[in-house]
Structure 1
Amino acid sequence: MPSAAPPIVLTFGLSDPTGGFGIQADLLTLASMGCHGVSVLTGYTVRDSANCDEVTGLDPEVVATQARMLLEDMPIAAFKVGAATRAEVVSAIAEVVADYDDIPLILAPDFTVDDEHVLAADDLRESIADLLAPQTTLLVADQTTLAALAQPDGDADAPGLDAAIAHLLSQGAEYILSIQTGTHRLVNTLFGEEGQLRQDMWDRPPHRLMGTTDTLGAAIAALLANGQEPAEAAREAQEYLYQATLHAFRPGMGAYLLDRFFWAHDDENEEVRVEGAAAVPRYRQPPH
């Protein structure tokens, strides 16, 4: 008899030839965490591990058609949305996921891929803030992105973090995981309608990494697809990301890439102690 299918997660995002972020990074993360990933491209990049030379978006109708074909064929357990290049593509994605409001949606927007900052255009931020954020189960973003989403037209001074989070929650986002980078620590804080739910602190890696936000978002999506509650998924996904970061490698002349299959190594079995989390084995089987 054939084996039962693993949970299926549908991810939307850019193609990255290096495998460091975007769709490729999502698929690696989902596979590592016991899910089958299916994907819909929002565009593609021309880049290596050091630089991005070009970002090209796909037609919104193509994005929507591909997503609906997958949804009509397979039981999707979670959505993850990463970078998009155009407001029209965001609108197409929002229209699709609105028809499946019982499926959890993880939103991990990225406005920093392109050196020319086309991904930070006001209309793109507005479409994410108005159309996708209100449908989101859990929004993963740094403080700059949260402020941009809370004041997407850029006409006024950016709101403070508390005001930005309160605004996004009032618009419909269920949970927000705020990522703050400090000198020596990363401080991630989870908020819900009850206020702050948890805060986790991690050692900051000494080198530049690609794809941390995408990986964190995909890990949360995988855990939700496996039946975890959002707060627990946010905690365990951070542990996964931290261990992938510990074993990052540098395949080229640019950024380090995360080792998303760190648990597959069997040459040691050390424990890692991090503030805010229990000791976890450095190499372990995937969470699910």
Structure 2
Amino acid sequence: MDTFTIPAVLTIAGSDSSGGAGIQADIKTITAHGLFAECAITAITAQNTTGVRDVQDVDPQVVAEQIDAVFEDIPPAAVKIGMVSSAAIIDTIAERLAHWGATEVVVDPVMVATSGARLISADAVAALTSRLLPAARVITPNIPEAEALTGMHIESEDAQAEAACALARTFGCAALVKGGHGVADANDVLADPAAGSTDVAPAITWFRHERIDTANTHGTGCTLSSAIACGLACDMDLAEAVASAKDYLSGALASGLNLGHGSGPVDHMWRMGAQRRTSAAGAPTPTPR
């Protein structure tokens, strides 16, 4: 029998019981890109499209064991890191990734809710900025997160680009500051420092897309960051990986999937759309029990 291999991508994040964000969104995204998904779960959440009910962190030692088990057997070509709420877990992740020499690391620094409320403690922010962000190939903050990390007020595209440059200089990694929150709605800006140097002006690249009018945006940040990791795992350069990820997310938003009573998930499997819609149209209606 003929055999083959495909690149693996590791997602380190929390579990979303509703399936729209976190580990579940990442696994769907990685699978949709034809790659092999691996995971290390940092927290278990009880949530749906209307909100989060409860969160339980995973013991840091268990997080470490998950990461080690993955690298020992099927080493990932890229790593995506999502929400990590405790300093102990952040320190554990940083230490284990350094041990295994992980390089293509995408960090989505989930710090601030859409409402503006902080999602992680002050000591966790300190660990994030001192241990995890400097180890990244690229970080993907939204506007409120970029403001929290830089202390800047971002109300224009010029300020958005300036914040991306400031982040790149501070952490020595590329920074993709995403639009939204009233600034550059669907336009993201990438600042990529030359060879990781903080002394050279970062190269700036804008990624412009038409804003898609939909209320179903649950998991967009998770989806974009894991799609970028997929591009890096396939040996794309960073700008190519971001452009590819933006195209994928745009398709997932434009698909028209409508689930739940709140902000529903994007359609991670939108590229299967025509075949899936035909199958669903012919499926029998379930009988209530």
With the length of structure 2 as denominator, give the TM-score of the two structures.
0.83
Q: How far did 1:247 drift?
A: 1.1
| Aligned counterpart, 2:110 | 110
Structure 1 residues 125 and 62: CA distance shift in structure 2, 3 A: same
- The within-5 A match list for 1:1-288 is 1-112=1-112, 119-150=119-150, 161=160, 164-181=163-180, 182=182, 185-193=185-193, 194-266=202-274
CA distance in 2, matches of 1:262, 1:209: 14
How many residue pairs were aligned?
A: 263
Counterpart code for 1:5: T
CA distance in 2, matches of 1:172, 1:239: 27
Q: How far did 1:167 drift?
A: 3.7
RMSD: 2.4
Higher share in helix: 2
CA distance in 2, matches of 1:248, 1:140: 25
Counterpart code for 1:221: A
CA distance in 2, matches of 1:32, 1:201: 21
What is the DSSP-based 3-state SS (H/G/I as helix, E as strand, rest coil) of the residue aligned with 1:9?
strand
What is the DSSP-based 3-state SS (H/G/I as helix, E as strand, rest coil) of the residue aligned with 1:203?
coil
Uncovered stretches (5+) of structure 1, i.e. residues with no partner:
152-156, 269-288
Structure 1 residues 204 and 125: CA distance shift in structure 2, 3 A: farther
Q: How far did 1:111 drift?
A: 2.5
Q: How far did 1:169 drift?
A: 1.5
Structure 1 residues 143 and 183: CA distance shift in structure 2, 3 A: closer
| Aligned counterpart, 1:285 | none
Uncovered stretches (5+) of structure 2, i.e. residues with no partner:
194-201, 277-289
Q: How far did 1:171 drift?
A: 3.5
Structure 1 residues 200 and 116: CA distance shift in structure 2, 3 A: closer
Are the aligned partners of 1:108 and 1:213 in contact in 2 as well (CA < 8 Å)?
yes
With the length of structure 1 as denominator, give the TM-score of the two structures.
0.83
CA distance in 1, matches of 2:172, 2:64: 22
What is the DSSP-based 3-state SS (H/G/I as helix, E as strand, rest coil) of the residue aligned with 1:185?
coil
CA distance in 2, matches of 1:187, 1:26: 22
| Aligned counterpart, 2:196 | none
CA distance in 2, matches of 1:195, 1:121: 32
Residues 167-222 of structure 1: per-residue CA shift (max 9 Å, x gap): 43223442111111138831111111233123323314331410001000000101
Higher share in strand: 1
Q: How far did 1:113 drift?
A: 6.0
CA distance in 2, matches of 1:118, 1:171: 21
Q: How far did 1:21 drift?
A: 0.2
Residues 127-186 of structure 1: per-residue CA shift (max 9 Å, x gap): 1111111011111111211222235xxxxx768655643343223442111111138831
Counterpart code for 1:243: G
Q: How far did 1:2 drift?
A: 4.5
Structure 1 residues 205 and 99: CA distance shift in structure 2, 3 A: farther
| Aligned counterpart, 2:284 | none
CA distance in 1, matches of 2:153, 2:275: 48
